[in-house]
Structure 1
Amino acid sequence: MNKLTELEVKAHVKAVRAWREAGVEKPPEGKSWKLFDGGGLFLTVTAAGTPVWRVKYAFGGKTGRYFAAGTYPEVSLQAARLARARVKADLEKGKDPVQARRMSRVAAVVSAGTTFESVAEAWLAKSRSGWSQAHYETTAETLERYAKPLRSFPIAEITDPMVGKLVEHVVVERESIDTARKLRQSLAGIFRYAMARGFCTHNPAESSRELIPRKRQIGRRPALLEFAALGDILRRASAANLSRAVHMAHRLCAFSAARVGNVISAEWSEFAELDAEVPAWVIPRAKMKAQDRHHDHRVILGPPIADELRAWRRMTGSGRYLFPSLTDPSEHIVSEALSKLYRVTLGLKKTHTPHGYRAAFATLARENGFDRDAVEMALDHVHASEVVRAYDRGARLPERVRLANWWCEQLVRAERGDE
């Protein structure tokens, strides 16, 4: 099972087409028109040069039956494997996969609008009002990236193995247990919604939780809590081969101690006070994690990062986002870009994360005598005390300005290597 790679598939298609064009009647010795992935799945190239996925199976005592899983590259290797899983699931239920597909297509026509894509869109629209903008965008992005092979399948035809393969792919290939967990939770929510609407009778995302390793109880995300170590990160990141958007997003993350989701989705409209006497970044409450407040969150910007942002605005300030995506300038960069910088480029997988600046900010500020409430307000943490919440509407501003200026100054000194 799963013997092939995308590179092998592309190379095979190219080679077979070259043989066809050269008029070769039989493939060279040791070669074949077909490329086998195992479990009955193989890719064949027709005389017209069209690569087609097929799954060979036996049913009712008859062998040599074939299930057409689609053409390549429209149907990717991963999607073809999902089709193979569906064939095996049908066979286990005593169904002929080809006949089952014909029946499901008829049902799909009758129940128009029940593909995974349409149901997922309806679920996202329904959930949006109760989520922050950042959480909505992260969830939609995760589904778009990892659940794409399910997009055109009728929701009622999606099986446990099909969902399981998506979740396992994230765990194994992406090495991200957190992302796999979030993906599974979103898929489970979509199927619960589909069940409530009568589009399906089973939630195939429930069993896939067993494919996700138990998360170790480490309690907190890794974070470096000394300025010398933070300065080393800033120097190494400046020397790394990064896109300008990712590098500047990393700088804003460090110097503002803001949440990663707010940083990557930052818009120039939120920086109307960048040129004020006290520069600030005003994040709409709808984009914040805490939704039980009536005011936006003001991030005070120290002089160093304010100067860098003004220079960045002169370079890129014509668009909507501070950090536009290289592939689609109308969208912003994704959180994985920052995570990969720390995890892979800087080799800090178990040492420090972009979120770690918030822990460093809180710890070092308290150790240097700053007021606890001012620190908590700067981070937009939830306050247990109603009295403290009252202050959150604008009091302690001088202390927060002093705190922001101190934090930026310490990072600049650390980056220079000053004692």
Structure 2
Amino acid sequence: MARQIKPLSSTQCDGAKPKEKDYNLYDGQGLILFVRKNGSKVWRFKYKRTNGKDGLMTLGNYPALTLKEARERRAIYLNQLANNIDPIDQIKIEEAKNSDDFSFEKIARDWHKAYKDTGKWNDDTANKALSNFETYVFPLIGKLPIDSVKTKDLYYVLSKIEEKGFLEVVIKTRQRFSGIFAYAITKGYLDSSPAVVLNNAIKITRKTKHYPKLPLNQLPEFFSRLRNDGGNPISKLCLEFALHTFARSSELRFARWKEFNFDKKIWTLPPSRVSVR
């Protein structure tokens, strides 16, 4: 049977004298008046944390924090625990909200580091992901507190990237939004994610982009730059061959040596491959 603890009185708190060693006076339900050997008195709250470990919080000095006020603090923390909220974690979150640590950019960078540390990204992919956020996302919503970012804010960012024609970046950014807000939820910063509905709200449409034709008088310069280019030699030769023959890419890619008669300077395409597109 648990030992019954008689609540403290203000008279007991006032009259608590220092001893050779520090000692505790118990008010019950985790509230403790800690009396130091130098005579100072401090309110503490001891409880079992949501992670199963023991938690100990310092509430303030007595008598600056009265017995009544200390009990009011205890009532708040007991209510949080009843709702599966750890008071120590909650205080850290509230402190973070009053600093840049709670901004979307800070949380996104924390998520990026955590995800990179899993080994699912190589360095190149990780650097590209962060660069995309620094270029397209942080300038628009980076300074917003993470819990104030709405779905419409994320939609706006994605629409701006889509306007630039970077459709792959849109898809990757949308996926990473989901990861960032899931990370924020596990940290206790949010209860729900504004990125959940983005998959249904945004339809990626690939627009055909036609490049302007190259004027004939610029062909000599083009061939000169092509030959001096440091790219793959085979790719350069294929491009030049296509320009001379007007062959389709499939006809060129599947070409075989037996199709070429170098004496007659004729390339004969078999009927079975002419239709390949």
State if a TM-score over 0.5 links the two structures: no
With the length of structure 1 as denominator, give the TM-score of the two structures. 0.28
Higher RCO (CA 8 Å, separation ≥ 6 residues): 1
Q: Which has the larger radius of gyration?
A: 2
